[in-house]
Amino acid sequence: MAKPLNIGMIGYGFMGRAHSNAYCKVSNFFDLEYEPVLKAACARNEENIKAFADNWGYESVETDWRKLVARDDIDAVDICVPNNLHKEMAIECAKQGKAILCEKPIAMDVAEGEEMCKAVEDAGVANMVWYNYRRVPAVTMAKQLIDEGRLGRIFHYRANFLQDWTIADDLPQGGAALWRLDAAAAGSGVTGDLLAHCIDTAIWLNGGISDVTAMTETFIKERTHSLTGKKQPVLIDDACTFMCHFENGSLGLFESTRYARGHKALYTLEINGENASIKWDLHDLHRLEYFDHSDEGKMRGWRSIHVTDHGGEHPYMDKWWVPGLQIGYEHSFVHQVADFLAGYAQGEAVSPTFRDALETQRVCDAVLQSAESKQWENV
Ligand code: SOE
């Protein structure tokens, strides 16, 4: 019998659903010492949180997050609320000795992230940040191939995250779902929301980033704020492009925007090494494109690897269906919970920890700083 790990969920938006789904599924597919139990869900709006709790099977609801965090029957808190609330909640969770699973980016800025790291490390509580794309099997496999040295020396790392959902100028800022457009709630725009994913994956695959030069743009300068009903300046970055040096000497090029008409969530990455290259595309997430220069010349070309095989060869896939049948976006969260629970049972940290996510935050802050200073900035 697995031991229960009682989850307290704060928030009920897109990520509240994605994480709840992962908690529900994980024990059916992974054999683990701990099993998540959906103990309580929390939000200010009682009617909405009750509907959410009923839908996912949470046993109870709270409307005050401090009450949830103080409950003796909660072991781990999942922070799925806008970025400006992460710090206060995480620090309180650490004080109460709870394990913490926090949405990305870790915080509004590095200073907040540092306080959060100190709090969890002083308290010795398990902590993790939801950079889920690392656990798409094809991306995990890219990490394995790089760590095996197959690419050799890395020269280039390129990543994009393109969307188009904020092009309309009558889209308000602030409030449910649209808090991502409100700098007071989000901290930044695409840099913290989308590039943070690309940066997390990049640091994981290719090591630390030492310096950056960036440009940002805010195409729509004013939007009505849903909470005040007034037109207010838009203070987030709608688009951001940056170049960087990695500590291993390779060059990085990153682009993110919410103004790429036709693209909904096009996260792509490409890594070029001396011996081989890798490409990955979220819209075709089970495929890893791989080019190996040591292949016989006549047959040399890009391989499209369908990362769905079993026998332990393709990461996570032996837990799902039969070889050849693919999985999707939601499974990356299931994998992250599975890894978290396995680490929790052993008392081992599971990456990305708060400290790992702070490295990503340092790059985000340097990128925004560089866009302002128009200079190269050290991370
Ligand atoms: C924004 O549209 C968003 O939902 C991000 O907040 C997520 O982190 C990203 O994975 C998909 O896009």
Each residue of 56-85: pLDDT tens digit?
999 999 999 999 999 999 999 999 999 999
Closest by CA to 42, choosing from 68, 21, 74, is 68
pLDDT, position 171: 97
pLDDT band at 36 (very low <50, low <70, confident <90, very high): very high
Question: Is 311 a residue whose pLDDT tops 80?
Answer: no
Report the atom number in ligand 1 closest to the C-alpha of 14: 4
Beta bridge partners of 280: 269
pLDDT, position 310: 87
Q: What is the pTM of this model?
A: 0.98
Nearest CA to ligand 1 atom 8: 193
CA of 296 to the centre of ligand 1 (A): 41
SS3 261: coil
pLDDT, position 190: 98
Closest by CA to 189, choosing from 133, 105, 85, is 105
CA of 100 to the centre of ligand 1 (A): 20
pLDDT band at 101 (very low <50, low <70, confident <90, very high): very high
CA of 344 to the centre of ligand 1 (A): 27
Question: Which class is domain 134-349+358-378?
Answer: alpha beta
Q: What is the mean pLDDT of residues 107-136?
A: 98
CA of 197 to the centre of ligand 1 (A): 9
Report the atom number in ligand 1 closest to the C-alpha of 104: 8
Q: What is the mean pLDDT of residues 264-284?
A: 98
270 in Cβ contact with 158 (< 8 Å): yes
Distances (CA, A) of 35 to 24, 268, 319, 344: 9, 33, 16, 11
Report the atom number in ligand 1 closest to the C-alpha of 132: 10
133 in Cβ contact with 203 (< 8 Å): no
State the Cα–Cα distance between residues 140 and 150, nearest whole angstrom: 15
Closest by CA to 366, choosing from 375, 374, 378, 357, is 378
pLDDT, position 108: 98
Question: Is 312 a residue whose pLDDT tops 90?
Answer: no
pLDDT band at 177 (very low <50, low <70, confident <90, very high): confident
pLDDT, position 335: 98
Report the atom number in ligand 1 closest to the C-alpha of 133: 10
Q: Residue 307 corresponds to which tokens in the numbers above? A: 């990362």
Handedness of CA 311, 314, 316, 320 (dihedral sign): negative
Name the architecture of domain 3-131: 3-Layer(aba) Sandwich (3.40)
State the Cα–Cα distance between residues 157 and 272, nearest whole angstrom: 7
pLDDT, position 219: 98
pLDDT, position 86: 98
pLDDT, position 38: 98
Question: Is 249 a residue whose pLDDT tops 80?
Answer: yes
- Residue 195's Cβ-count burial label (10 Å; 0-12, 13-18, 19+) is buried
pLDDT, position 285: 98
Question: Is 355 a residue whose pLDDT tops 90?
Answer: yes
103 in Cβ contact with 362 (< 8 Å): no
pLDDT band at 151 (very low <50, low <70, confident <90, very high): very high
Question: Is 227 a residue whose pLDDT tops 80?
Answer: yes
Mean residue pLDDT across the chain = 97
Phi then psi for residue 351, to 5 deg, are -80, 145
pLDDT, position 262: 98
pLDDT band at 225 (very low <50, low <70, confident <90, very high): very high
- Residue 284's Cβ-count burial label (10 Å; 0-12, 13-18, 19+) is middle
Place of tokens 């495929």: 287
Domain residue extents for the chain: 3-131, 134-349+358-378
Contacts 24+ apart (CB under 8 A), 25-29: 25/334, 26/334, 26/337, 26/338, 26/341, 27/2, 29/319, 29/320, 29/334, 29/338
DSSP E strands in 43-98: the ranges are 60-62, 76-79
pLDDT, position 114: 98
Q: Which of 193, 236, 283, 285 to mutate to test the pocket of ligand 1 (most atoms within 8 A of CB)?
A: 193
Give the percent of the chain with pLDDT over 90.
98
pLDDT band at 206 (very low <50, low <70, confident <90, very high): very high
pLDDT, position 176: 85
Nearest CA to ligand 1 atom 11: 265
pLDDT band at 287 (very low <50, low <70, confident <90, very high): very high
